[in-house]
A and B are shown apart, each in its own frame.
Chain A
Amino acid sequence: ETGVTQSPTHLIKTRGQQVTLRCSSQSGHNTVSWYQQALGQGPQFIFQYYREEENGRGNFPPRFSGLQFPNYSSELNVNALELDDSALYLCASSATTGRNEKLFFGSGTQLSVL
């Protein structure tokens, strides 16, 4: 069974640029969620995708957008990068959107915005 994988592991960008982060969900999982973890904080929910549709969004501006593909892999896109976007971005997958589903996280992408 393949776990959640994210790429790249580290990324350095300049303010104003755009970035795309990628995630492959765990085998058999059709739901992918993205979280932002700033330094010293807990992960914050960005949004979730279920069967290629957005299924809930946290308090993040529209310049944070995502996609889910038919194979359930996902992308997180951030436009017009700001310094405060520097954080660890975590992808998590789960089998469904049900009540008792657990999240399985990837190791994250560390984004630095200079």
Chain B
Amino acid sequence: DQQVKQNSPSLSVQEGRISILNCDYTNSMFDYFLWYKKYPAEGPTFLISISSIKDKNEDGRFTVFLNKSAKHLSLHIVPSQPGDSAVYFCAVPYGGATNKLIFGTGTLLAVQP
């Protein structure tokens, strides 16, 4: 049973445009959400997080939005750059600890120059 779902396996956008990556979750008790980015032949790296007490968190070009009623979060990248091309995973803590995570299946973002 997939508790964290990323229904778009891939996304292609033009450089300079906005990239929107989506994630849905099933358990309304989840109260903290993270995004990780993974380049080929490298491990995932932490990108941005959001607590359920907020509906938006921003860090430079990256913004995460949380819609608790819809159990949905999205990652916006503006403007998109070719170096953003990677697999993006959303994740939730497993048992409340943010160093034990349940990951979604990932979305491969390709930013075209």
What are the residues of chain B within 8 A of A107 when measuring CB–CB? 41-43
- Find out whether the CB atom of A40 lies under 8 angstroms from the CB atom of B105: yes
Interface residue range, chain A: 20 to 34
- Find out whether the CB atom of A45 lies under 8 angstroms from the CB atom of B105: no
What are the residues of chain B within 8 A of A4 when measuring CB–CB? 43
* CA–CA, A82 and B75, complex, Å: 37
- Find out whether the CB atom of A56 lies under 8 angstroms from the CB atom of B43: no
Q: A107-B43, A108-B43 are in contact. Are A45 and B97 (CB under 8 A)?
A: no
What are the residues of chain B within 8 A of A102 when measuring CB–CB? 46, 98-99
Residue total for B at the interface (Cβ-Cβ under 8 A): 24
A47-80 at interface with B (beta carbon < 8 Å): 48, 56, 58
A24-46 vs B: 1/0 string, CB under 8 Å?
00000001010100001111110
Tell me the smallest distance from the CB of B55 to a CB of chain A, in Å.
Answer: 19
- Find out whether the CB atom of B99 lies under 8 angstroms from the CB atom of A33: yes
Shortest beta-carbon contacts, A-B, top 5: A105-B43, A42-B103, A94-B99, A101-B99, A102-B46
**5 A–B pairs (Cβ distance < 8 Å), ordered by A:** A41-B105, A43-B103, A56-B95, A92-B43, A97-B99
Q: Which residues of B contact A (CB under 8 A)?
A: 4, 6, 9, 41-46, 89, 91, 94-106
